[in-house]
Amino acid sequence: MLAKLNIHRAFRAVLRERAHFLGLVLIATTAVGTHLATDRLLAEERGKAIQLGLLGEQRMLSERIPDLPG
């Protein structure tokens, strides 16, 4: 009977250990996925900001064309 209890406790300990490990893997996977998604989103926003800056500069230059002598 005592051996059976020890086996049961050991089995529960192994299951608990595996559950903790899987939990850590899940947390790490979520963290990496969130980081990659955020990085991609920020890269897209940077690209849009650069395009808007160029469009604004082009508009400003086109407004200055009539003021040029010629």
The pTM score is 0.61
pLDDT in tens, 8-52: 888 899 999 999 999 999 999 999 999 999 999 999 999 999 999
Give a yes or no: residue 17 inside a domain.
no
Give a yes or no: residue 20 inside a domain.
no
Give a yes or no: residue 38 inside a domain.
yes
Give me the number of domains the chain comprises.
1
Closest CA relative to residue 61, chosen from 19, 53, 28: 53
Q: How confident is the model at residue 2 (pLDDT cuts 50, 70, 90)?
A: low
Q: Could you write out the three-class secondary structure of the chain?
A: CHHHHHHHHHHHHHHHHHHHHHHHHHHHHHHHHHHHHHHHHHHHHHHHHHHHHHHHHHHHHHHHHHHCCC
Predicted pLDDT of residue 6: 84
